Chain A
């Protein structure tokens, strides 16, 4: 990981724009909670705008402000190709405009994982390509673990209440997603503590 210059990694306004868009997504659900049609339209517009902005932000960080090894680049390209390819080749998915947000959101997840992994490697002093690749995979998992935990909970515990929507097979998947997501969350918190401590030490040393 190589920060090329000393100025701040990103511009403050870009973070604010993204935060406003994220709030709009949350707001669209809260404001139109009783009207499915408005939730559908509002969430579609806000989520797509947010997802595209998030993609742009992380892509810019990854390719303009950071550098990664060839192994990591290959992994990012491979993951992007697979996930986007799966979505694009899923029958009937393109028939639903609401699903379009999934494409930029999944791309944002992959690039955000790559950015976070690069940052953690730099702060922890990890330089070996294979270890950096491992960190990349771990970060994708950690970013997805709350979603895994929540989705697993909904599938496993919601099956009895909504068996028309959740089959038994889906509930069985949910059973395994819960511990996996919980483990990911725990590891994620531990990793955050460790990296934050390293970052603060670095900031403290530079201030002194």
Chain B
């Protein structure tokens, strides 16, 4: 080494080396790829984190979610399992399978095959009713050992279907109190699923709540109860779980804790899918920024739910928190539809209860109330409010020309007058009770949560 280089007698080898550059030009290609990788690391380095350190914390957080064990005699889940064991499956033609017709016309439940199927399942239905009366439910799942372990949701769905069949058959036979008991048992099954509030469980529970609303809607159309007592029984069975914001927040906390545990475990190579698998082989590059973005988005949503307001734009929230690659957060960004379904179902439960009270008023006074306030306090403790907006439930008897509502509703009310009890829905706009039968309507579609009851003239006939 010299402090400064001096003049040299022979630079020919150096000049030759410099001029023959074609080999070096080829080497330059992979070198450039490597340098691009270096630039990527430098760009996201500030947000990179050690997944092993996070894994310990997130594991402890999931372990803390574990509930105290429930004694077998108080555990509804064991009774549900017994019910599944004695359940008789449908062996008739798929066209008349009643489990797919519970929100349809009544004729199907009068078929001999369906009546036999219903009676064969009496033992299972009795067990499901008794499970619904139990307050505790422990599915026996260990989220630490198996983070996203779930019960057999198909079996659970079949239990709910069986109860819905029972409700329709009982209503057809005029046993509305028994029908209401089955609807209540479906609601209880949904609440039991929520004892382990992973997002998927929450979505299934929401679908059971939606099933209760739809079965009652069909009963009102085709097997309308007329006594105040029957309607009172339905009203109690229909009462939704309420507290949609609290339920959404609870589910979000649980789901995010389990998700972070899985995400940290996968990034640390301690849990499948491990980092050596190719699709997430670059995970260290985006793990930290993705995790922080996810935490920011979930934090925003939680804050909104805790303040009883709908989160303002999940996409905006992602943009606000994204500091680098955020692959998983963009995937999770689709879950707002799950929360939308929860709120839509809650709205529909509220209008269903109001409809039952409305029919009670009609049964007592022989006329319709002038407004919803007339139902208070005899039939409702207070004027029911929408789940998302601070607006009361409304009703209208204005004809609806172009309804995008449920097919059986459109058919039933094609030549009949109806009254629509509704809330303004998620868009906050009063669309005159024009709703959509989809669980989550499209962006520009009318989305009033609507319940149809026959107009008084129809009943008078």
Contacts and interface: CB of A to CB of B under 8 A. Distances in A.
A196 B19 contact: yes
A194 to B, nearest CB: 12
B376 interface: no
A127 B3 CA distance: 10
Interface stretch (B72-80, B91-99, B278-286, B383-391): B278-286
A170 to B, nearest CB: 6
Contact of B4 (A51, A69, A91, A105): A69
A127 B6 contact: yes
Interface in A1-23: 1-3, 5-10, 15-16, 18-19, 22-23
B39 A147 contact: yes
A80 interface: no
A161 interface: no
A25 B285 CA distance: 21
A136 to B, nearest CB: 12
Contacts of A120: 18
Contacts of B288: 91-92
B122 interface: no
B34 A102 contact: yes
Interface residues on B, range: 35 or more
Interface string B1-32: 11111111011111111110001001111111
Nearest to B279: A36
Contacts of B35: 105-106, 109, 143-144, 147
Interface in A82-105: 83, 86-87, 90-93, 95-99, 101-102, 105
Contacts of B33: 25, 47, 147
B327 A165 contact: yes
B10 A23 contact: no
A21 to B, nearest CB: 8
B34 A101 contact: yes
A9 B326 CA distance: 48
A144 B34 CA distance: 10
A93 B326 contact: no
Contacts of A127: 4-7
A144 B37 CA distance: 11
Interface stretch (B45-53, B296-304, B439-447): B45-53
In the complex, which of the residues B10, B17, B30, B38 has the most CB atoms of chain A within 10 Å of its own CB atom? Answer: B30
Given A9-B14, A95-B284, A164 B5 contact: no
B16 A9 contact: yes
A4 B61 CA distance: 65
Given A9-B16, A26-B30, A203-B12, A92 B36 contact: no
Given A95-B267, A123-B15, A67 B5 contact: yes
A15 B79 CA distance: 76
A165 B286 contact: yes
Nearest to A130: B4
A173 interface: yes
A150 interface: yes
Given A15-B23, A91-B49, A165-B325, A122 B8 contact: yes
Interface string A63-76: 00001111001000
B48 A91 contact: yes
B308 interface: no
Contacts of A169: 322-324
A199 interface: yes
Nearest to B50: A91
A70 B309 CA distance: 66
Interface in B252-276: 267-269, 275-276
Given A95-B269, A96-B283, A102-B41, A69 B3 contact: yes
B275 A96 contact: yes
Interface residues on A, range: 35 or more
A18 B28 CA distance: 11
Contacts of B417: none
B14 A95 contact: no
B319 interface: yes
Interface in A52-70: 54, 67-70
A6 B12 contact: yes
B289 interface: yes
A178 interface: no
Contact of A3 (B14, B38, B43): B14
A18 B31 CA distance: 12
Given A92-B287, A96-B281, A106-B38, A206 B8 contact: no
Contacts of B287: 92
A22 B14 contact: no
A165 B283 CA distance: 11
16 contacts: A5-B13, A8-B16, A18-B23, A26-B30, A36-B279, A70-B3, A83-B38, A90-B41, A92-B287, A95-B269, A97-B276, A147-B32, A151-B39, A168-B319, A170-B43, A199-B14
Given A2-B8, A120-B18, A147-B36, 19 more contacts: A37-B278, A51-B34, A67-B2, A69-B1, A70-B1, A92-B51, A92-B287, A95-B284, A96-B284, A105-B34, A105-B35, A106-B34, A106-B35, A127-B4, A143-B35, A151-B39, A154-B36, A167-B326, A200-B19
Interface of B: 1-8, 10-19, 23, 26-45, 48-51, 267-269, 275-279, 281-289, 319, 322-327, 329-331
The 9 tightest CB contacts between A and B, nearest first, are A105-B34, A147-B35, A9-B17, A199-B15, A164-B330, A36-B278, A92-B284, A91-B50, A25-B30
Interface of A: 1-3, 5-10, 15-16, 18-19, 22-23, 25-26, 36-37, 39-40, 47, 50-51, 54, 67-70, 73, 83, 86-87, 90-93, 95-99, 101-102, 105-106, 108-109, 112, 119-123, 125, 127-129, 132, 143-144, 146-148, 150-151, 154-155, 163-170, 173, 177, 195-196, 198-200, 202-203, 206
